[in-house]
Each structure stands twice: as structure tokens, then as C-alpha cells.
Amino acid sequence: MHCRRLSMLNGSWALLLAATDVNAAGPLLGALSQDALRGAGPQAAHVLTLWQITLWICMAVFAAVLIACAWALWRAPRAGADTQPDLSGLSRTEPGPRRTVAAATVVSIVLLFVLLAASVFTDRALAGLALRDAVHIDVTAHKWWWSARYDDAEPARMFTVANELHVPVGRPVIITLHSEDVIHSLWVPNLTGKKDLIPGRSATMTLRADRVGVYRGQCAEFCGVQHALMAFLVSADTPEAFEQWAARQREPAATPADAAALRGRELFLGTTCAMCHAIGGTEAGARHAPDLTHLASRRTLAAGALPNDPAHLAAWISDPAQFKPGAQMPGHAFGAEDLQALVAYLGSLR
Ligand code: CUA
């Protein structure tokens, strides 16, 4: 049912697709960390501390309220089988409970101020991240994917990627946030709190990853039917691995040597693909859809919706709507051979 286009694919593709659960993105992304309780950097640690303070205070207040409630019920006037409850105490002025209520009100106000102060100090701590030698990334949210431009003082060193960020461990990152259409929110729980991306405005977010790993991020503001499938990955690499990755991303796409991939390249540039996507080093330069210059270097397709492998790529190109109904990419009825060539070309974009 998930592969309505299976009939279009030739035997080997059909076998490959049948052997792959095309909805297997769950396990793939499940192996990655998206967990605010396992912070991998100072910003996440500040947010976690605030969360813990809030949790413990709220738990203590909740327990105190329940205990007070149970105590009041226990000492409330009771009726026996044939006696009325003794309500005379209700009309007596009791200074004890009045003092208790006054004290509880004061304690509540003090605790709310503690939470307010904790929140202000967290905000200051988040803003206090040392930003010397920061990596600058300009992220734009789209329905329903992310584009990211790595800025550099030297324009030739800038490059654009989609749906997968890499950051060097130990170096601060300044992310400028924009939105192309509606309000989205960028959230990588392992690295920092969330921040909205608002059309017509820009905001910044700072973070630092201190532990190598791949962290899952998620759009955290309802933005339409595919909000839940607007994910992305942040790979925190060693500084050397990051520089290697960045150097590769700066390169234009290599022209493939393989005949099928060459045919795929022709198809890509000669059909509607090039009207939305960009591939560095070719005439395709549109920015309506993810930059595909180094598509094969990414772990996922369609903003974290699918694993990046030939079978999923073929199924995605044929009918994106079966995975992300409402996604703006239309289905493409390529013949089996053309589809295979196109996938071979995209697979060569390492
Ligand atoms: Cu973008 Cu929710």
C-alpha cells in the first residue's frame, strides 16, 4: 500500500523496495538522541537545571497540597450511622488555620519568585556563552524542511545544506533563524532550548556541543500537516571531522563517470527537478527546495522522514505524498530505467 508506484519499478528495484520497509524511518531516527535530559552542551545544561528546579518545586507544592487536603478530610466533621455531623466548629473563629493559609500564601509567592529568579538567571547564563571563533549558520525554515547556509567572511567559503547540520565540538555556534512561510520553531533538546522562526523577522540562537554525537532536532511549533515530519539532525563532529565535512560541502558536485549516473544528471537538469532544487557546479540553482549538491552525504531524506538509501529515494521521487501528504514536491512518473539513472546520479552526490 505504501508503494503504489512499485509497478513502475523494474524487478531489481521492486525487490529492493520489498526488502526495505519504506516506513522504516522510525527505528533509524529512534537510534538518535532527542533528549533534553541528556544534554550535550552548556546551553542544554542550563535549561536542564531550570527544568529540575521547576520540577522539584512543583512536586513539593503538589505533595504539600495533597497532604493538606488529606489532613482536612481526615479531621472533617463526620456523621455516624444515626448521628448528624457536628458542624459547630465551622462557625468558630480559628486563628490556627488562618495563620496556616497566610503562611502558605507567603510561601507560594516566595516560590514563584524563586522560579522567576531561576528563569532570569537561566536566560542570563544562556546569553553568557562565549562566542569567540563561532561558526555562523543561517537557518531558514520552510514548509516542511530546513535550509542552512554556513556563513563565512570569505564569500567563496560559504555553502548551503539542508536538513542536516554539522557543528564542531567545543566551538560556539551562532544560528540566525528565518522563516520562509509560517511560524516554525527550532529545537534540538540535547543542545539547547527552542526558538521560533517568524516570517519577516530574524532571531538568533547560540549553542555549543561538547560531546560528539548525532542529535535529532524537531520543529516545535505547529506549522501545518507535515509539522511532525519536519525534523533535522545535528551532527556534532570533532573539529577535524567538521573541517573535512565543510571542505567537502564547499566543493561543487562532481560530474559522474558512470553512464547511468550521467544519464541521471541529464534527466535532473532537463526536467522539472532543476526548477526547484540546486546542485552546485550545474545550471540547477533554484532555492525552492533542498540543495542537493551533497545529498548522498546526508543520513535522511525529506527532513528526517526517511533513511537516505536508493530504495527510499526512488520511492520518494515517485510519490512524495505517500510519505508526506501536503509536501510541495510533486510525484514524478519516471520510467523504471530513468528513475534508476536519476537515483544513481543523486547517489553519486557525496
Ligand atoms: Cu515547522 Cu512545525
Cα–Cα distances in angstroms (integers) from residue 205 to residues 14, 43, 104, in the given order: 44, 10, 39
CA of 226 to the centre of ligand 1 (A): 7
Give the 3-state secondary structure of 91-103.
HCCCHHHHHHHHH
pLDDT for res 100? 87
* Ligand 1 pocket list (CB less than 6 A): 141, 144, 184, 219, 221-223, 227, 230
pLDDT for res 33? 85
Q: Which residues of the chain register pLDDT less than 50?
A: 1-27, 30
CA of 143 to the centre of ligand 1 (A): 7
Q: Are 215 and 33 in contact, with CB atoms under 8 Å apart? A: yes
Atom of ligand 1 nearest to the CA of 222: 2
CA of 42 to the centre of ligand 1 (A): 25
Residue 113 backbone phi and psi in degrees, to 5: -70, -35
CA of 113 to the centre of ligand 1 (A): 33
Q: Measure the CA–CA gap between 42 and 273, rounded to whole angstroms.
A: 41
Atom of ligand 1 nearest to the CA of 144: 1
pLDDT for res 28? 52
pLDDT for res 25? 46
Burial 60-90 (b: 16+ CB within 10 A, else e): eeeeeeeeeeeeeeeeeeeeeeeeeeeeeee
Atom of ligand 1 nearest to the CA of 224: 2
CA of 184 to the centre of ligand 1 (A): 4
Atom of ligand 1 nearest to the CA of 227: 2
Instruction: Record the cell numbers describing residue 68, joined without a space.
Output: 493538606
